[in-house]
Amino acid sequence: MRMTVIGTGYVGTVHAACMADLGHEVLGIDIDAERIASLAAGRAPIHESGLNELLARTVASGRLRFSTSLAEGAAFARTHFVCVGTPQRSDSNAADLRYVDAVVDSLAPHLRPGSLIVGKSTVPVGTAARLSERLAKMTPGTEVAWNPEFLREGSAVQDTMRPERLVVGVSSKHAEGVLRAIYTPMILAGVPFFSTDPATAELVKVAANSFLATKISFINAMAEVCDAAGADASVLAAAIGADSRIGPRFLEPGLGFGGSCFPKDIRAFAARAEELGAGDAVVFLHEVDRINTRQRRRTVDQARGLLGGSFTGRRIAVLGAAFKPGSDDVRDSPALVVAAALQEQGATVRVHDPQAVDNARTVHPELTYTLDVDKACEDADLVLHLTNWPEYRDIDPAALAAVVRSPVLVDARNSLDPRSWSAAGWAVHAPGRPRLSARAAAPSRPTAPVAALTGGAS
């Protein structure tokens, strides 16, 4: 089947490549000519496991092409996936729909009867209905459906090719038939297929994100209580997660969530509920957001306390810049928010990340970045672990202890082995967990850098 994918950002690039890999003919469209040229050469604009190989393969096959022309897209296909961004508005918590609206307005004059616009962008409930009315006036005989994405950065290709569920919001059997045909391989493989009205489909995405965000903020709130009570939040999380009604996933005390989805989506959901007169039903989302934001401040405050109440003249190493491992995305990254706050309050901050250094530098150029963990930690008074890349779990804490000035670790992601670090001479602090003091003297400084993570300074 022929289709276009309009918007070649994170969602669009992955969706276009995956649909082509399923055997469809796909035309990716974006106004960014430089990005289109890179994609046409088989180079992904983002770091995502398996995407570069998939993109190169589908471009070489001829099933995936790219263009900057919506008119070309309308002539090429009758099914058009809209994957443009819906950021938070600058003047409120509501979603900014200008890019979605612009696609529909620009595409409509070129559409043929029977064309189907399929939204994948995360939008406030009622958006599909509003766009349907708008489109009907401009191009009769066309439809709007909604097919939300449920991708996790770091596993987006896998999530697209082997999704846990497919949700389509449609207003006709024709639209449902088109989407069933597109996703036939997944449906035949047993993936649950939910066909519903557009409003329900729009709500499924924001409700899922809101539930997961609530679970994350809940366990972080419990970690704060554990800190006050001298209890262990990690054991608490494991114990309540063993309850089949609750489950263990997303019950991991830490720095909280970030990225381009959860923070702005829960705010937009609450704002839309207010518009609908149902604001009281989701008032808890404001507290979820507040708890999440407070985690960042608590980490800064903890670091200040460990350094005697002042950052002036202190060196701090930050491990992690991306908002999560497996991605180079730094949008609303808790790690970068904390790093920037430390620097602003007087510390000298060096940041390491395996993939996100270039993107981080564009957002916070005032920070110092390196691709070498030793250089990040050299003579550091404090080390903060802020993004739980698996590479950091491979660090030799005894070797790194000889690089720093003071072996003090804040494991804000609660994913390093505190006992091995403590045994290597580190004082270890983590959210909701009893402090582990150093249990061995740090070894002498090695003559060679820590090999596990040396990638050369940037």
Q: Catalytic amino acids?
A: 261
Contact call for residues 116 and 79 (beta carbons, < 8 A): yes
H, E, C per residue of the chain: CEEEEECCCHHHHHHHHHHHHCCCEEEEECCCHHHHHHHHCCCCCCCCCCHHHHHHHHHHHCCEEEECCHHHHHHHCCEEEECCCCCECCCCCCECCHHHHHHHHHHHHHCCCCCEEEECCCCCCCHHHHHHHHHHHHCCCCEEEECCCCCCCCCHHHHHHCCCCEEEECCCHHHHHHHHHHCHHHHHCCCCEEEECHHHHHHHHHHHHHHHHHHHHHHHHHHHHHHHHCCCHHHHHHHHHCCCCCCCCCCCCCCCCCCCCHHHHHHHHHHHHHHCCCHHHHCHHHHHHHHHHHHHHHHHHHHHHHCCCCCCCCEEEEECCCCCCCCCCCCCCHHHHHHHHHHHCCCEEEEECCCCHHHHHHHCCCCEEECEHHHHHCCCCEEEECCCCHHHHHCCHHHHHCCCCCCEEEECCCCCCHHHHHHCCCEEEECCEEEECCCCCCCCCCCCCCHHHECCCC
Contact call for residues 353 and 339 (beta carbons, < 8 A): no
Q: Which residue has the tokens 């810049």?
A: 321
**Distance between CA 92 and CA 90 in Å, rounded?**
6
Q: What does the angle CA 149 – CA 107 – CA 39 come to, to the nearest 5 degrees? A: 60
Residue 340: other Cβ atoms inside 10 A: 20
| Of 275, 283, 272, nearest in space to 122 by CA | 272
